[in-house]
Structure 1
Amino acid sequence: MEFLPENNDLIALGVSILAGSLVGLEREYKNKSAGFRTIVLICLGATAFTIASRHGVGSDDRIAANIITGIGFIGAGVIFKDKFSVMGLTTAAVIWMVAGIGMAAGIGYYGLSITLSVLTVLVLAMFNKVEHAMERIFLTRTLLVVFHDMDVKNLEELRRAMDNHHIKYARKTISKRAGKLSVVFELTADRKNLQHFNNEMMGLVYVEEFYYNS
Structure 2
Amino acid sequence: MNANGMFIVRLLVAMILGAFVGLERQTRGREAGLRTNILVCLGSATIIVVFQKLSMEFNVGAESAIRMDPARAAAGVITGIGFLGAGTIVKSKDFVRGLTTAASIWVVSAIGVTVGLGEFVIAYVLTMLVLVALYALHRLPIVRDHYFSLHMKWEGDLTLLDQIIDQLQEKGIQIKNRSITRQPKTGSCHVTLVLRTRHEKTVAHLVSKLQTDTRFDEVGWH
Tell me by how many angstroms 1:39 deviates: 5.9
Shift in CA distance, 117/171, structure 1 to aligned 2, threshold 3 Å: closer
Paired residue for 2:110?
A: 100
Aligned residues of 1:20 and 1:40 also touching (Cα < 8 A):
yes
Confirm whether residue 146 of structure 1 aligns to residue 147 of structure 2: no
Paired-residue identity, %: 21
Contiguous gaps of at least 5 residues in structure 2: 28-32, 61-65
Shift in CA distance, 40/171, structure 1 to aligned 2, threshold 3 Å: closer
Structure 2 letter corresponding to 1:47: I
Confirm whether residue 27 of structure 1 aligns to residue 26 of structure 2: no
Aligned-partner Cα distance in 2 for 1:153–1:37: 49
Structure 1 letter corresponding to 2:152: V
**TM-superposition CA deviations, 1:157-198 (whole Å, max 9, x none):** 11122234x232224022315442423231315244334422
Paired residue for 1:68?
A: 78
Paired residue for 1:199?
A: 208
Q: 1:182 aligns with which of 167, 188, 191?
A: 191
Paired residue for 1:170?
A: 175
Shift in CA distance, 53/68, structure 1 to aligned 2, threshold 3 Å: farther
TM-score, normalising length: structure 1 = 0.65
Contiguous gaps of at least 5 residues in structure 1: none
Count of aligned residue pairs for this structure pair: 198
Aligned-partner Cα distance in 1 for 2:74–2:200: 45
Aligned residues of 1:146 and 1:182 also touching (Cα < 8 A):
yes
Aligned residues of 1:15 and 1:114 also touching (Cα < 8 A):
no
Structure 2 letter corresponding to 1:197: L
Confirm whether residue 123 of structure 1 aligns to residue 133 of structure 2: yes
Tell me by how many angstroms 1:139 deviates: 5.4
Paired residue for 1:41?
A: 42
Confirm whether residue 211 of structure 1 aligns to residue 206 of structure 2: no
Aligned residues of 1:169 and 1:188 also touching (Cα < 8 A):
yes
Aligned residues of 1:46 and 1:102 also touching (Cα < 8 A):
no
Structure 2 letter corresponding to 1:63: A
